[in-house]
Structures are given as C-alpha cells and as structure tokens.
Structure 1
Amino acid sequence: MSDIGIYARVSTADQDPQRQLDELRESVEDSYDDPEIHAYADIISGTDTGRGEEYQRLREDIESDVLDVVVVHELSRLSRLGAGEIHEFLEFCLTNETGVRDLEVGLEISLDDDLVDRAVSQLIAGVMGDLARVEHKQKLRRIQSGIDAAQAAGQWTGRPPAGFAVEGGYLQINADEFLTVRRALERVELGSTYAEAADGTPIAESTLRNLHDDRRNLYFHAEAEDGRLQAAVEELEPLPELEVPTEHDLPDEDIRAIVRDEIGRLQQ
C-alpha cells in the first residue's frame, strides 16, 4: 500500500477545490493498488505570494516521511507561491524520498528514475513554472487594463461607499443607507464619540471614523473629488454646515429635531 498526497489550489473563496481533489483521487485510485490518500487543499488569491496552510501541512508530511508520492493537477500552481517554488518543491520531495506526478502534462519524477531523467524532468518543471508566472502577470495586466477602462468610462469597479449601490456598473444612492450614515455623522458633529454615533446602526465605528475624515463633504454637502461619486449625488442640493454647539450636552429630543430638519432638507 502506498501513501499518496493529493494537493489542490484555487484562487478565490467562490471556487471549490473539491473538483480538483475528486479528479486527483480518481487518478490515484486508477494508478495505485489500494492507496492511502491524504488530501490537501488551499484557497489562495492569485496575487498572494504566501504559502497556504495546507501546502505547509503537505510539506510537513513529506518531511515526516508520511507520503510516498505527491500528485497535483498542475505543478505550475505551485509556482504562484513564489519564484522558483517548483524547483525548490521538487528538490524538497526528492530529498525526502517522495515522488511527484503532474496530471496535466503527465510529468512524473520517481525515485526509481536515474539522475539524468530526474534532471530533465526538473528542467521541464522549471520551464512550466516560468511560463505560469508570465501567464499570471499577463492576466493581472489584462484585469488592471479592464479596471482602468471601466473607471475611465465612469464606472465603479470596487466596493461602493456606504450609502451607495452599484447598478449597471454605475453608482446609485441608496437613500436609506445614505441617510443612516448622515445621521451618524451628524451625531459626531454634535459631540458624540464615534462609538456612540455608530451604536444602533449597521455602520462600524472604524468605518464611521473613516467616512468623517475622508468623505464628510460628500454626506453633508453632496460634494466629492471623485467624479463618479459626484455624478451619483449631483441631484442633491448642497447642505449647509451644521452649527455645532459649544456644549455637547444637548438633550436627545433637540438632537432628534436637528436631525429631522436636516433629513427633511435632504429629501426635498
């Protein structure tokens, strides 16, 4: 009986590594007699150069002499964990008397190979890694180019600010959320702490602090340096500055009255 490690890696939480694992498991069961299969799977962003927890566990099991062979769908996946990772991984496996198989191109490096065969296999694996890195960089450039083009056309490409939604690629005001943010910011202007102002709202204290520091004029005056935000709020009338009292102990009913007046002005 052989102990076989299968390793899968996907780039986002929306992808499921199970498909890769199932294909690897099927191949292993067809190729080995009564194999003991050890599965490892990571979800790592394509821009992340770190090693995943499961990849680290795989290496630990290789070093502990748990595995006879490691089977992967594509060795090029490993190269995205850092330059030279394929070469280093192969050396690591062979040093620890563990073979390696790549199902995509049928590459197999076995402990039974002579030194020449191993050297050729490692050379092929290194070229695969170089090609994978070039492809990855090109993909990132294409993605960035698409983002730049969308932004140039006035579209919003990231997460919308609080109080806004993205419809058809463009920012639209979410009236309820916008007013909730404004009410919380008004409480800050009237002397409440960020924690007090955020209490009872879906807005995190840290988010409220950032909005007050960076986008105060957007919520109080419908003014923004970003043209996409400005276009989304252009139908709003600029709002006057709040007159912050010198004593921050206004009764709650007075605060509510001020907020109601300002909300009414915004909704006109």
Structure 2
Amino acid sequence: MSEQTTSLPDDLRSFLTEAGPDAYALAYGDTDTDPVPCGSAQAPAVGETGAVRSADGIARLSLQEVCRGQQETLRRWLQLDDGQRQLAISAADLGALRELTPGDLAADLLRDPASDEAQLTAWLGSWTYRRYAEAPQGLELGWIAAAAAWSCHMRALASHPPPSVLSPAMAAAGELDQATRELVTSSGLKLADLLDRMEQPYRPRAELVVVVTAAAATASGDPFPVRPQRGCHRQPSPSRRTSSAHISAPGLAAGRTVRRVPGG
C-alpha cells in the first residue's frame, strides 16, 4: 500500500527507519536547482537526483508518498513519472539514507523468485509506451524520447527496452515494424554508452570533444550524428552499481551485457 503525505519530515532518514525496512519515499526534486556537473566527485549517477546526500538537498525535495515494498514503489514510480520532474526514490539502509533508481528496483525484483515477471513486464511496457506517447518532442521523435528515458532510469536493468517490454509498447502505439524496433534498440545502446562516458571523472580531450558534441546534438533533436572515435575505451562508471552479475542478452550488440531482463 502507499501512504499519502502532505509534508516532508524534518529528518527523512529517521522517518523511513521508523517506518520499517520496506518503506520507500517518493519525492519530487527541485527542478530550479542548478545540477552538479556530470563527472565531478559530487555528481549523482544519471537517473538520480543526488538530493539525499545533503540536508540542503533533502530540504528541496517535495514528498509525494511513502510506499511499502519494492514492487509497490516501482509500480507507483512508473505511474507518477511524468518526464518533466525528477521523482526520487529513497530508503533508509542500515541507518543511512540512500537513493535508488527504478532500474535498481526492477533488477532486484527480477532476482526475487517470488516476483511476478509477467506483471513487471506489463508495467514496464506501459511506461515505455507512455513515455513515447507523451514525449514533448512529439510522436515523430517519441520513440527516441522513450529510449532516452529508459537509458536514464532503467540502465541498472538493461541498456534498452528488451523485446518483452518493447513489443507491447509498440503494439499499443500500433507500430510493429522492424525499423522502429531497431531505432529504439540502437538509440538506447548509444544513449547508454554516452551516459556511461559522461559519468567518467577523467577523459582524454578527444573523448571529451566527442561526448560534448554528441550531448549537444541530442539536446538539439539530432541524437546521433557523431560516432565514438576508434581507440576510445569506455571504462565502467564508478557511480553505477556493479554488485549484480551480468549476462549476455540476445539482440544486443556484441559484447554489450545487461542484467537479467524479463523475457530478454
């Protein structure tokens, strides 16, 4: 169940600790706050607000509700996410406040034998379709916007929507062509790679030029005019969680791995 609340507790960590180990807070971030430069020591991982790291950050959060359990928390996040405001997920773990992404929750749920994989797949498919249909760029770029949303929020689960998620999303949009499927897959892979490289604290100048140019092109609506130069090696981002085992998944580019995905 979800508990509606109207104000942010003064001490969110103590509040969640007292609420129990299965309590998760959903809170909207302050979109007017200047972001921390990506790649700096204080920068949060893509998909996180970083607000829970300081008292000032927590003060800028607007608590939406408190959910019970990972499944309900993920379900409500997928329903409440509007693509316009950052919706943070926080929990108290061993007395410390930490932020999670919806991809973290989805990956944990898929490792739980008691989880309903079919239901989780349906939720993710519905969210992917909604991010396409409600894309502010319009339907022409809707699938790229959906792929970008997935790469930002679900990267802990997979680089792009797996077939079991993408197929129902495309069916809801009345689009079942292979070209659209390939567009979403390639967009997700390229965006995930770009985000991985942006999170690196140190980069050679040539690599930095490629990343900045690609990011600028993405913001302008022409996402992928630049290809990474040969010889540029992408290192695992220190800010991403790597505790879960990775497995190869069919349909991904050679060498690209993802965590276990539903039906992928």
* TM interval, short-chain normalised: under 0.3
Q: Which protein has the bigger helix share?
A: 1
TM-score, scaled to structure 1: 0.25
Q: TM-score, normalised by structure 2?
A: 0.25
Larger RCO (CA within 8 A; separation ≥ 6): 2
Structure of greater Rg:
1
